[in-house]
Every structure is written in C-alpha cells, then in structure tokens.
Amino acid sequence: MISMWKIIFERNFGTMPKVLVTGASGLLGRAILALLKEENWNVVGLGYSRISQGLIKCDLRDREAVSALLKKEKPDFIIHCAAERAPDKVENHYEETVLLNVKATEYLASIAKELNSRLIYISTDYVFDGVNPPYKIDDKPNPLNKYGQSKLEGEKATMEVNPDACILRIPILYGPVERIDESAVTVLLNCIKDKKPITLSHYEKRYPVNVRDIAKILRDLIMKIDKDPSISGIFQWSGKERLTKYEMAMLIAEGLNLPFDHISPDDKAVSGASRPYNALMDNSRLEELGISHHTGFKEGIKACLEFLEYF
C-alpha cells in the first residue's frame, strides 16, 4: 500500500530521496527506520554491534569500508545517529569514543560531500553547560563532560569539511526499547519495580523527547531541504515538558499504576560525569520552518513500557 506521505512527496518534490541511517539498530535509529519504511521511503540502515534483519553491518571507524559502502548505496541523505552516548562510559574511554564520535563523523561528512549526499548529524544538548537557558543555535557551547565535548568536536568536524551539512541537537530520548536500560528514561522503571527505598535526582532539568517525534522532525527536515537545498547548519529540539528524573519516574509510576512512595527526591547534582543543570534549547529555527512534533511524556512513556514482557 502506497503511503500518503509518499504521494504528497512525489507530487510536490518528485522522486522520493534515498536515505541512509547510521546507528539504525539503536533507539533513535530504529524509530527513524521504522517511520520511513512505514511511509515507503527508500531507506537503508547501518549497524555494527546489533545487526537485525535488513540492516547492513558496517564499522564506521573503518574508512575504506565506509567509503565503499556509501559509493555503492549513493544515498541522497545520511542521518548520522551512531555514537557512544553514555556520559560515564565516555569519561573512562575517551580515546575510543573520539574514534566514533569525532573521527568517523569527520570522514562520513567528507564522503557525503564528495557524493553530494546531504548529511544530518545528530548531536546533543550536552554541548551546553546548563547555566543560562534557553540556548539559541548560535550561543557558545561549553560542555561539562567528555561526552558533550566529543559531540561538539563532531559538530566542528562536520561543518569544517561539509558546510552544507545539518546538525540536529536533541535532549534525553525515550521510546520502544529492546532492553530496559537502553534509555536513561525507561531504566527508571527498574527503580519503581524494585520497591526498595531509593533517591532519584530532582536537580537537573530535562526535556525528554519521544524518538518517534525526532523521526518525524527529521523526515520533515529532509523534505524541506529537498525543496530548498540552501537549508543547512544547526537545528535544535527540546521537549515541551521540563522534568527531573524524579518527576519522570513519578509519571511512569502513575501511568502504569505502580506504587511510588519508596522513591524520594534528591536535590543534589548526580555523581559521575557532570551534567548541565538546565540545557533547554531554543526550537525556533525548526518551528519557523513549520516543523514541530511533541508527544506528551506520560502518554508516550506509558505506550513504550506497558507492553514490555519485563512489566
């Protein structure tokens, strides 16, 4: 069955572009792949450590393999999701992280430019220090941890070799998970189910986004770029609800009708890698293009968790 999106796109813009997604086995990559496939886009997914049916295995740190694959696939757009995203892990394995988050990104951007493929690099609100929100796209980044630094270096590398590329900074994500700890949001269910007294951070302010919403934003951005190739540079998206981890857990418990009285708020900063206090980003550049998608957190997280076998 031909999707309405395919009909609309081809009527207004011509042939559907070919989209290649790196990190397609991850939380965000799966959502992008699923949405585009539902709408009959020509889409290819790359993975490495987790390869499911239909994905192509590719080590993005292998320049020759990446070059050969991209020259074979010839995508019109590349959505670069693959990255090491765990801040505490990055603190202890920074050199390894740089190979993927910076070096592989730089080479991918270079090959994309050579092939006239438009690159969209997925970055993070952790490029900011969280002291003076909301952050506009041209505010000076000041990452507090090595993860944020690696993503900022990835941004710089992308734009230096490929000024026509786009960068999309996003906050903490949640969505349909393959394991409960795949998202820093869904893992909160462990604390709720365990029923042992515990404290959760009620300090850092976060703006969680459903991966399906980011997938829709990326789809819409591709359509805008395809119509107007001059579109490039930095875009940002923060969710519409400001929540601490404690408040997220409370909404999860309410949505699933689980007891919550064993969990207490902790008003101190979390241990481990430093996190920004409030990294709210200004969404206006996307909104000015008519791009905006938001799923209410309580509704979205319930849909993600209530059918898990774990639950």
Single out the catalytic residue among 147, 174, 207, 246. Answer: 147
Token pair 């008519």 is found at 290
Tens-digit pLDDT profile for residues 229-262 = 999 999 999 999 999 999 999 999 999 999 999 9
Whether 191 has a pLDDT exceeding 60, the answer reads yes
Tens-digit pLDDT profile for residues 153-162 = 999 999 999 9
Tens-digit pLDDT profile for residues 202-228 = 999 999 999 999 999 999 999 999 999
CATH of 4-175+211-240+281-295, one of 3.90.1150.10, 3.40.50.720, 3.40.228.10, 3.40.1390.10: 3.40.50.720
Question: What pLDDT is attached to residue 1?
Answer: 45
> Please, what sign has the CA dihedral across residues 188, 252, 276, 269?
negative
Radius of gyration of the chain (CA): 19
Question: What pLDDT is attached to residue 6?
Answer: 55
Please tell me whether the peptide bond between 163 and the residue prior to it is cis, using omega within 30 degrees of 0: no
Determine the distance from the C-alpha atom of residue 282 to the mean position of all C-alpha atoms in its chain, rounded to a whole number: 16
Nearest by Cα to 280 from 234, 249, 240, 233 = 240
Partners of 187 in the β-ladder:
none
| Range 102-121 average pLDDT | 96
Task: Output DSSP code: residue 262.
Answer: T
Determine the distance from the C-alpha atom of residue 291 to the mean position of all C-alpha atoms in its chain, rounded to a whole number: 16
- % of residues, the chain, pLDDT over 90: 80
Task: State the pLDDT confidence band at 85, using cuts at 50, 70 and 90.
Answer: confident
d(CA 305, CA 223): 31
Whether 16 has a pLDDT exceeding 90, the answer reads no
Question: What pLDDT is attached to residue 210?
Answer: 98
Domain chopping of the chain, boundaries? 4-175+211-240+281-295
- Helix and strand numbers (H, E) in the chain are 12, 11
147 assigned to active site: yes
Tens-digit pLDDT profile for residues 135-153 = 999 999 999 999 999 999 9
Nearest by Cα to 149 from 120, 184, 123, 185 = 123
